[in-house]
Homo-oligomer: A and B are copies of this chain.
Amino acid sequence: MSKTADMPALKHAFLERLVHYYHFVSDRMRDAEDGATVTSTEIAGLIHMDDTLVRKDLAAIGVRGLPRVGFRSAEVVDAVRLLLGFDQSYRSVLVGAGRLGGAMASYGGFTRYGLEIVGIFDNDPDKVGAFITPHRVRPLEELTEVVRQRQAELAILTVPPSAAQEAADRVVEAGVRAIWNFASAIVTTPESVFVRHEHISVGLAELSHHLKHSGSVAEG
């Protein structure tokens, strides 16, 4: 019933599961026929999770299954794409043309998720003017102009930690609504700007913790 009613901040774990479903089902569809279906058990097997949860999740995003058959793959994929916003195109500016910035700028995979980079900026004169695939690195002074002209909604920050807050301030002032922060520094922004902080150290913590503590421990 609820549809997309009010939609408060969806829980991270839920979104993560949806992304998993999306990848699993869309991968499967590649070498399958048009009306292909997938069962909740098949999806659940992927991540060692309970199939009931898969059905709950799919029900939550409005996908109805067919008893004895499963779920239409195309329907699953479309529903997730719609909910996550992968069906729309988002223009974004990238600040920080270092190695990571360059890697992200030239990574082609974002288009699959509707992300389009419309400008790359750096305040290092040595970098300004360089070409990164289809873009020329511009000076930060041109940021506001580009954000307004191209109506960019998102900013990707790939600057050093020390430059993160200033970069955040500038993109906020320029008018973006969300920030994808790859700098390993927490930035503060007005409430209205959504920040996703991609901290590499969380992943590393999990690995490091595992390596340290798995030595002689028997597997459950």
Chain A residues close to B by CB (< 8 Å): 4, 6-8, 10, 12, 15-16, 18-19, 23-24, 46, 83-86, 88, 90, 98-100, 102-103, 106-107, 109-110, 113-115, 153-154, 177-178, 180, 184, 186, 191-192, 194, 196, 198-214, 217, 219-220
Contact = CB atoms under 8 A, between A and B. Distances in A.
A192 B213 contact: no
B202 A90 contact: no
A106 B7 CA distance: 41
Contacts of A85: 205, 208-209, 211-213
Given A15-B205, A19-B199, A19-B205, 12 more contacts: A7-B217, A16-B202, A23-B199, A84-B209, A88-B212, A99-B106, A100-B100, A103-B103, A109-B200, A115-B204, A178-B207, A180-B207
A201 B23 contact: yes
A213 B186 CA distance: 24
A119 to B, nearest CB: 17
Q: Which 4 pairs from chain A and chain B are nearest by CB?
A: A85-B212, A99-B103, A85-B208, A100-B103
A18 B204 contact: no
B154 A207 contact: yes
Contacts of A102: 99, 103
A15 B153 CA distance: 31
A202 to B, nearest CB: 5
Contacts of A12: 206
Contacts of A19: 199, 201-202, 205
A154 B205 CA distance: 13
B219 A192 contact: yes
Contact of A107 (B7, B100, B203, B209): B100
